[in-house]
Amino acid sequence: MRKILGTLLIGLMLTVSGGIVRAGPLEDGIATYRSGDYATALRILPSLAEQGNAAAQFNLGSMYAHGQGVTLDYREAVKWYRQGAEQGNATAQVFLGLMYAQGQGVVQEYLRAHMWLNLAASKLSGNEGQGATEPQNDCETYDHRVGRACGGNGMAWQGNARREASRTATEKGSQTYAS
């Protein structure tokens, strides 16, 4: 009898409170992007990104950087990565740093790459922070078409890019370019 009463009470509480917790537009946009439903993600993410949502800005930048549901456009990717990065989104900072390190969508500039990667590393903690500063699994490659390094974690390559950006910036001095 107690089990039946408990079940009814839980059912009543869910009914009164509005039911199961639902994801918001951002969560829906990110979930559709991750599932590969780029058309739906492209309907959801741009408005959120334009409203200043850093996570939406990062994900929209990734769509442009990888040509997922849109034409590959590194400049547009940099635009969205920069907006997210300037709001403090560490992942956007990493990818913006990588764009500078590789000269994709911007003039190759190791000093700015180093700056963005360092900012990101200072915000990441634990294994993520270690990934931004130290190589993992001796992986030296990064595939921009799918945004994956060493099995998809995206963090292993960052340490290598950061060290390369730092080394090159030191060798070339403080040479800078307009962004």
Is there a single domain that holds both residue 167 and residue 99?
A: yes
Is there a single domain that holds both residue 95 and residue 83?
A: no
Is there a single domain that holds both residue 37 and residue 52?
A: yes
Instruction: Check whether 175 has a pLDDT greater than 60.
Output: no
Is there a single domain that holds both residue 45 and residue 102?
A: no
Is there a single domain that holds both residue 168 and residue 150?
A: yes
Residue 136 counted as domain residue: yes
Q: Write down the residue that tokens 């590959």 correspond to.
A: 72
Is there a single domain that holds both residue 108 and residue 38?
A: no
Residues 59/45, Cβ–Cβ less than 8 Å: yes
Q: How many domains does the chain have?
A: 2
Is there a single domain that holds both residue 135 and residue 166?
A: yes
Mean pLDDT of the chain: 74
Residue 21 counted as domain residue: no
pLDDT score at 124? 83
pLDDT score at 18? 43
Is there a single domain that holds both residue 119 and residue 160?
A: yes
Is there a single domain that holds both residue 81 and residue 105?
A: no
Question: Both tokens of residue 17?
Answer: 């409170």
Encode pLDDT of 53-92 as tens digits.
999 999 999 999 999 999 999 999 999 999 999 999 999 9
Q: Residue 71 sits in which domain range? A: 26-87
